[in-house]
């Protein structure tokens, strides 16, 4: 399950990255980014356990939505100077890769 593994790796990256954010963001952007990241592999896993392609596809679409949320939040973090441009590009590239894998899986179902 490559998508799930990539999602877990992204969660770890987001947790490490947001550790350095200002403390006043703990209930704001930090929380939002972590929840969006966690939602990606969580929805992939939950959909997989549903045993029906229609339900699985729906959970994959939710995971795609979480990818879009996270990408927006990464851009906001960059705009607020919480992360450097190189880190933004790395995180966006990883998120985009996961989105493409999810989209390809949806097409196969």
Does the structure show a pLDDT above 80 at 1? Answer: no
Domains (ranges, CATH) in the chain? 2-108 (1.20.1440.60)
Q: DSSP characters for 13-46?
A: HHHHHHTTS-GGGTTTHHHHHHHHHHHHHHHHHH
- How much is the pLDDT for 88? 97
**Among 68, 71, 43, residue whose Cα is nearest residue 57:** 43
Residues 16-53 have pLDDT tens digits of: 999 999 999 999 999 999 999 999 999 999 999 987 89
Alpha carbon 1 to its chain's center: 16
Residues 59-90 have pLDDT tens digits of: 999 999 999 999 999 999 999 999 999 999 99
């Amino acid at each position: 399950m490559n998508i799930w593994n990539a999602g877990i790796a992204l969660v770890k990256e987001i947790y490490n990255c947001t550790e350095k954010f200002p403390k006043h963001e703990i209930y704001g952007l930090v929380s939002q980014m972590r929840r969006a990241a966690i939602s990606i592999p969580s929805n992939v896993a939950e959909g997989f356990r549903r045993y029906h392609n229609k339900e699985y596809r729906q959970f994959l679409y939710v995971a795609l939505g979480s990818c879009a949320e996270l990408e927006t939040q990464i851009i906001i973090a960059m705009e607020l100077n919480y992360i450097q441009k190189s880190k933004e590009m790395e995180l966006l590239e990883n998120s985009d890769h996961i989105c493409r894998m999810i989209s390809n899986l949806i097409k196969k179902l």
